[in-house]
A = this chain, B = another copy of it.
Amino acid sequence: MNDALPGWRDGAAKQAILDLVSRVCREGSPEFVPAADRIAVFDNDGTLWSEQPFYTQGLFVLDRVRAMVEAHPEWRTTQPFQAVLEQDWKTLGAAGMKALQELVLATHAGQTTAEFERHVEAWLAVARHPRFGRPFTELIFQPMRELLDYLRAHGFKTFIVSGGGIEFVRVISDRLYGVPREQVVGSSIVTRYEVRDGGPVLARLPEVDFVDDGEGKPVGIQRHIGRRPIAAFGNSDGDFQMLEWTTAGSGPRLGVILHHDDAAREFAYDVHAPVGRLDRARAEAPARGWTVVSMKDDWRYVFAFEA
């Protein structure tokens, strides 16, 4: 029994976590890892908070399009904006990732970093999850929050490595997860330093700088952290390379995949999900020694409001 992880039922997943920590913290053991190298990385969407029915940042994008249409009346008759405004999800879905990127750039660029942050804060204060009717900030997975705290209590430094926008995730990382802003890795657009009348600003430009997903995750980890993690937590094939890179190192390693199989308490989705597709990572998990967490069986509760 371990009181530090009350949301985790006894079983293989919890045991794999406890084992890693006990092995790397045992001073004098050949498996001992100095605290500086106890790096743990966490995907965000679907790993630390819910990503259904859609990525939270995606819902922010849709609301920003609605909020910005007064200043952009041409959007009423221009795709993909028109589809958002008319809630025509079929057209939007068919337009694919290119349309999504266009919406992201239209809503995430054209302001300063400080202004963007205020937009995110203001939205989070009023937006509600369509199924749970709660602020998105309450949709974090409580057992994962316990895990973050548990790892940090054992000298680990915890990082978020998200396919989402780095400046979006930074708004919530400390408050929701106890992860400071400088320990967030994410996707980004180009920013430019400009000296304006009121002083210097960082202007956000409509150009993709870095996509922190799939093969980009180890690249982002190296760029921001500069060390290979010893533990990685994800939930989709976008986390495959992050787990592969992490667990290919020598010494004790832990790769964990959350499987969303709890339709009653959260959502059940899997191989063919348009968001959070989990196919290769789950298929290869046994051979690679990765731990698959069943949210239904391994967790006593999903959200703090049930706990």
Please give the residue numbers on chain A whose beta carbons come within 8 Å of chain B beta carbons, in ascending order: 36, 113, 157, 166-167, 170, 174, 180-184, 188, 191-193, 195, 199-200, 202, 215-216, 218-219, 222-227, 241, 244-245, 248
Tell me how far the C-beta of A138 lies from the nearest C-beta in chain B, rounded to whole angstroms: 23
CB < 8 Å: which of B193, B216, B227 contacts A182? B227
Using A202-B222, A248-B199, A248-B200 as known contacts, say yes or no to A193 and B181 having CB atoms under 8 A apart: no
Please report the C-alpha to C-alpha distance between residue A113 and residue B181 in the assembled complex, in whole angstroms.
25
A200 near B245: Cβ-Cβ < 8 Å: yes
List 9 additional contacts besides A202-B218, A224-B224; criterion CB under 8 Å. A36-B180, A166-B223, A170-B226, A181-B227, A184-B226, A192-B215, A193-B215, A195-B244, A200-B244
A191 near B219: Cβ-Cβ < 8 Å: yes
Tell me how far the C-beta of A178 lies from the nearest C-beta in chain B, rounded to whole angstroms: 11
- Nearest residue (CB) in B for A188 is B223
CB < 8 Å: which of B166, B174, B200 contacts A36? B174
In the bound complex, residues from chain B placing their C-beta under 8 Å from that of A188 are 223
Copies of this chain, complex-wide, total 2
In the bound complex, residues from chain B placing their C-beta under 8 Å from that of A202 are 218-219, 222
Tell me how far the C-beta of A44 lies from the nearest C-beta in chain B, rounded to whole angstroms: 15
Please report the C-alpha to C-alpha distance between residue A224 and residue B193 in the assembled complex, in whole angstroms.
15
Please report the C-alpha to C-alpha distance between residue A244 and residue B194 in the assembled complex, in whole angstroms.
11
Please report the C-alpha to C-alpha distance between residue A241 and residue B195 in the assembled complex, in whole angstroms.
9
B182 near A224: Cβ-Cβ < 8 Å: yes
CB < 8 Å: which of B170, B174, B192, B245 contacts A219? B192
